[in-house]
Chain A
């Protein structure tokens, strides 16, 4: 059992007796870090969670946003790191299944997925390639099978993920405001489990995810098997139940299985439950402990009023979904678990559902000081070498085209995706209530993007995390959307390590400060600790998924892609600074760690984003791209690749405070955008920008079929073909197809 001595004492005190063995199993599952947030909970209060679009914030299965006209968006993010490291195909696929059921739990229809993935070095590591290949295939197979498009994401490669991987999936749902399912329930309502039969798979999954990853052989019990067909049936059946209004509460069975699902639901409802485990539909014979903590996939809990049971049954039978009426709600706030006629557990739901908080020590890790006192700069390259460096950066898998990944995903099913992967910096969905079973007529355009940067967050978790948030906001702004909410996923090593825990606290602080300043509320998220292998903790890897709304009012305009035309002017907004710490240029090209990670100037960040959104709304730009990994030079090259035409750039015009040309080219300073503008609109652009306190400059023009970077008389010229060739490195490494 995984309870500490203190926790055991706390439990004994709360019960005023020794727990039964089943009670102990249930509590152990629910009090795992994975389910209980016992280390992180006090810190998550730092997030600002309220905003004009927020209907439901953190603490539910998904955050709920009101986007007007009776339309609601739901959003949630989950990871499936340990299971994917053991069985990448099934782990990633069941990760998708899990996040989709969270969206279903609010009575909303899942309509889009995003994935953020992290692996070791796929250039030299067979195992990393095997993980990468199968994780992507697992996401594709599950998402494609159930008809939910995967519309955006990001991938990063770093040695700290060797023999491991981070697999994060976010899901967006849509609901009618008059059909949202909140947890409700009255005494004698039925407690029903529907979906797959319960088997021995995924036993101890939650506690597996709450300790250090030991390698695959010992952890075979935590293999989880996806069943996308059942996943799809559950979506359709649940939506029909919601439409009929015959369910009062819906809850996903995820980590910790029945133990967590029943105790959390009962606790939330303020009710008790009478549960008869003899009724549970099983795949194989198993012990009561195993029944309570099995994490068999594709199962849902429904609370149904007895008078509506026939309607519920007709729907489940129609979809041929097996279900068991496991029990009913009581008014005594206790879980009564019966098996073979005997009461084998009787425990207050609130005790199981609320683990005692553990106060963790947070101490600044020595490596941060070490990097600070050993920071250096590389030797300045010859001007002629810049071309080669840029091509190598473009072929760096963390920067290179992710087409090999998203080509495996169906990103169009459902017909809502107006901006698809590879076309712009964020995906855009067109929403209408018709799709959610209503009769709305007006459209809402929303943009979504997920971002992370483990290299920045390792060196400076506060500024690095804030930077991830800023980047995700920039990306949704690039398609014309105003950020309205975020969900985050905080992934770290063991919270028992005071140094790791410090990076967690700093990271939360960075995200919370940004959110509060920008008035972008956090509406949900997840914390995943114990992401460690035999080689130690992963780099701190918080991820931020930002949802933006294009037309909050009627003045929106969607930027559909990189549509620069010959003769368009290239303008930069923002200031390039000497902030080279964690840059791909320093780490990938020179293997140099430098402490000076890019910092977000909050007021300036907001000004640049506002300026860009104003230009987009005025219809004055043909294309917008943000500067991030690889800096200005990479961003310019990406615009050339995306629009299929070259550019001629005069670097001395770029607003900057750098002392070196390589810093100017490759610094990853935040709050910078590249825009292409029709020559005829330049005056109007300048007029509009005169109201915005931002640095800006015309730095070149799109034309021809090569990129020419000039600096005070010297110049380099790189052909489109060689850029495209470098940028396609992932497809080459992975082979074509899946």
Chain B
């Protein structure tokens, strides 16, 4: 399978919008607002995986990454949303 192109895929995992995020709240309250940025109204923490994967196409690469995330439970679908996008560079 030599010569297949390598695609760069970003996986963004964050709590669902209606689920609270104490870590983001704490950063906002204790760091950002106390640091003078009173106009910052919300901070949500997410985790990003930058994946390089050999595949025939960008779609195949994203499929592989999606399967990987689900099979290996890299995120919990009950708690989090998982966005998979191709990254330019």
With A and B bound together, what is the CA distance between A199 and B78 in angstroms? Answer: 17
Contact B78 A201 (CB under 8 A): no
Contact A90 B79 (CB under 8 A): yes
With A and B bound together, what is the CA distance between A217 and B79 in angstroms? Answer: 10
Our pick among A87, A126, A196, A283 for the contact of B79 (Cβ within 8 Å) is A87
Chain B contact surface mostly: loop
The interface size of chain B toward A, counting residues with CB under 8 Å, comes to 13
Contact A227 B22 (CB under 8 A): yes
With A and B bound together, what is the CA distance between A89 and B18 in angstroms? Answer: 18
Beyond A130-B73, A201-B20, whether A229 also contacts B78 by CB under 8 A is: no
Interface status of A9 (Cβ within 8 A of chain B): no
Interface status of A206 (Cβ within 8 A of chain B): no
Closest to B73 in A: A130
Contact B22 A87 (CB under 8 A): no
Interface status of B19 (Cβ within 8 A of chain A): yes
**Residues of B with C-beta under 8 A to A86:** 78
**Residues of A with C-beta under 8 A to B64:** none
Contact A87 B78 (CB under 8 A): yes
B1 CB to nearest chain A CB (Å): 26
Contact B78 A225 (CB under 8 A): no
**Residues of B with C-beta under 8 A to A230:** 22
**Residues of A with C-beta under 8 A to B22:** 196, 225-227, 229-230
Q: Mark A198-209, 1 if CB is under 8 A from B, else 0.
A: 011100000000
With A and B bound together, what is the CA distance between A738 and B21 in angstroms? Answer: 22
Q: Mark B77-88, 1 if CB is under 8 A from A, else 0.
A: 111000000000
Contact B26 A283 (CB under 8 A): no
**Residues of A with C-beta under 8 A to B15:** 225
A80 CB to nearest chain B CB (Å): 15
With A and B bound together, what is the CA distance between A216 and B76 in angstroms? Answer: 10
Interface status of A223 (Cβ within 8 A of chain B): yes
Q: Mark A86-115, 1 if CB is under 8 A from B, else 0.
A: 110110000000000000000000000000
Q: Mark A614-627, 1 if CB is under 8 A from B, else 0.
A: 00000000000000
**Residues of A with C-beta under 8 A to B29:** 320
B1-40 residues at the A interface, CB under 8 angstroms: 15, 18-22, 26, 29
B39 CB to nearest chain A CB (Å): 20
Contact A223 B19 (CB under 8 A): yes
Closest to B25 in A: A227
**Residues of B with C-beta under 8 A to A320:** 29
Interface status of A52 (Cβ within 8 A of chain B): no
A202 CB to nearest chain B CB (Å): 10
Contact B26 A225 (CB under 8 A): no
With A and B bound together, what is the CA distance between A199 and B25 in angstroms? Answer: 14
A219-267 residues at the B interface, CB under 8 angstroms: 219-220, 223, 225-227, 229-230
Mind listing 7 A-B residue pairs with CB under 8 Å?
A87-B78, A196-B22, A200-B18, A201-B19, A225-B15, A225-B21, A227-B20
**The 5 A-B residue pairs with the shortest CB-CB distance in the complex, in nearest-first order:** A227-B22, A216-B78, A130-B73, A225-B20, A87-B79
Contact surface of B with A, Cβ cutoff 8 Å: 15, 18-22, 26, 29, 73, 76-79
